[in-house]
Amino acid sequence: MKATGSLFTKITLGVLFAAGIAACNQNKTPDKPAAPATSGSKPEIVYINEDTVTTKYEAAKDMRKRLEDKGKAAQNDVGGKRQALQRQIAEYQKNAATMSADQRAATEQRLQREGQTEQAYEQNAGAQMQSNQADETKKLYEKVYEFTKQYAKENGYKMVLTFQSGNTQLLYADPSLDVTADFLKKLNDAYAKEKK
């Protein structure tokens, strides 16, 4: 009986305690949401719109132009070799009827070797373009990264995030935290000084 009485006492005290807390909370004013940062205080975390930086950063534009020019030159080079091979094939097809069997066989073997050489050259040119693009992209990333570290330090930011359309890692950020315009201006200014 003593165990039952003790249990009853604990339950009663628990109910009274909960009722007391509920009564106290009825007289309390509701919690107010945290006040937004005033114009005098700076946020410690900001973000940059990566799409804007990618399209408007002068160094990125210059990189794309360099890669585009190299790509066109490589395409012209590969295209020239392909056309030369096609002319040789057309010449062979035109003269095949007048050639002996040995001449046809030797010419076909030579054209096949040249075709394989041209195909390997085309693949190497593509691989070289990919390597150039990766190198250029890495250099650009490192440049932006180093600038971002300095920019954050100068402005007292503890973290600089990037936002990119379609990126599910940052679904929403308050527009007041967007420092893209200032960041891009200073980034382009630094690049302009570097180019001189």
The answer to whether residues 117 and 125 touch, using CB atoms and an 8 Å cutoff, is: no
Give the phi and the psi of residue 178 in degrees, each rounded to 5. -80, 115
Residue 145 in any domain: the answer is: yes
Mean of per-residue pLDDT scores for the chain: 82
Residue 5 in any domain: the answer is: no
Residue 13 in any domain: the answer is: no
The answer to whether residues 189 and 57 touch, using CB atoms and an 8 Å cutoff, is: no
Residue 84 in any domain: the answer is: yes
Residue 24 in any domain: the answer is: no
Residue 155 in any domain: the answer is: yes
Residue 1 in any domain: the answer is: no
Residue with tokens 């940062």: 37
Neighbouring residues of 28: CB distance < 8 A, sequence distance ≥ 6: none
pLDDT digits (tens, 9 = 90+) for 63-107: 999 999 999 999 999 999 999 999 999 999 999 999 999 999 999
CA distance 58 to 184: 9
Residue 31 in any domain: the answer is: no
pLDDT digits (tens, 9 = 90+) for 21-50: 344 444 444 444 333 444 567 899 999 999
Number of domains in the chain: 1
Q: In the numeric block, which tokens belong to residue 61?
A: 């534009």
Mean predicted confidence (pLDDT) in 189-196:
92
Question: 171 falls in which pLDDT band (50, 70, 90)?
Answer: confident
Helix, strand or coil, per DSSP, at residue 46: strand
CA distance 127 to 78: 13
115 lies in which domain range?
A: 41-190
DSSP H helices in the chain: 2-27, 50-56, 58-95, 101-155, 180-195
